[in-house]
Amino acid sequence: MASTYARTPENEKATEPLASEYPKTVATPRHVMAEPREPPRYFAVVEVVLRFLLLASAVVAVVVMVTSKQSKTLVIPISPFQISRTAKFQHSPAFIYFVAALSFAGFYSIITFLFSLHALLKPGYHPKVVSHFVILDVLLLGIMAAATGSAGGVAYIGLKGNSHVQWAKICDLFDDFCKHIGASIAVSLFGSIVLALLIVLSFYSLSKRIPK
């Protein structure tokens, strides 16, 4: 005799598999890349100010060096004659290189200052400007440092002389010329420090865009 099986809600509930019997699946967390952060806006303001200072220091250093010409009338004690001597920056290859390097720095500063000012007025454009200029800033710093060091070495010999090789000092005669040279080198050193600060600021600004 066949047996009949009545399907009741209690029977269906008893035959359903328990939730614990299903295989457990673990959701794999996805690695979400963080969006690069924009550097603060005051970075662009500081960069514009520093690039203006770099431009001003390069122009002032070149102008002071070029206008350092001084003429002196020297009396020869042996004979009653007088000779005129002129000191100018063209007499030293180091000073010529200094003027050329600082002139290039001034021209470069004009371009970068205008781009930085445009980046300040146009938000979101600043990181692109920084990434393009940071390598050129490093190269320019090397050029300016070499020019300042070579001119400073020649200026020191003119100020102190060198008794070992019988190089006489000239700053006791051409005092105005030496003052111009010293002031020009000091301004160039200030410009080199400003450029170094610009490089540090650029690297720090780029590091802010690295996702963490």
Over residues 159-177, mean pLDDT: 85
Helix (H, G, I), strand (E, B) or coil at 148: helix
CA dist 152 and 165 (Å) reads 19
Q: Which residue has the higher pLDDT, 43 or 134?
A: 134
pLDDT number for residue 1? 46
CA dist 36 and 49 (Å) reads 25
**Tell me: the pLDDT tens digits for 41-95?**
677 788 889 999 999 999 999 999 999 888 877 767 666 677 777 888 898 999 9
Looking at residue 3, the DSSP 8-state letter turns out to be P
**Tell me: the pLDDT tens digits for 92-106?**
999 999 999 999 999
pLDDT band, very low/low/confident/very high, at 173 (cuts 50, 70, 90): confident
Q: Which residue has the higher pLDDT, 204 or 59?
A: 59
Q: Indicate the pTM of the whole model.
A: 0.74
CA dist 140 and 105 (Å) reads 7
Over residues 161-165, mean pLDDT: 83
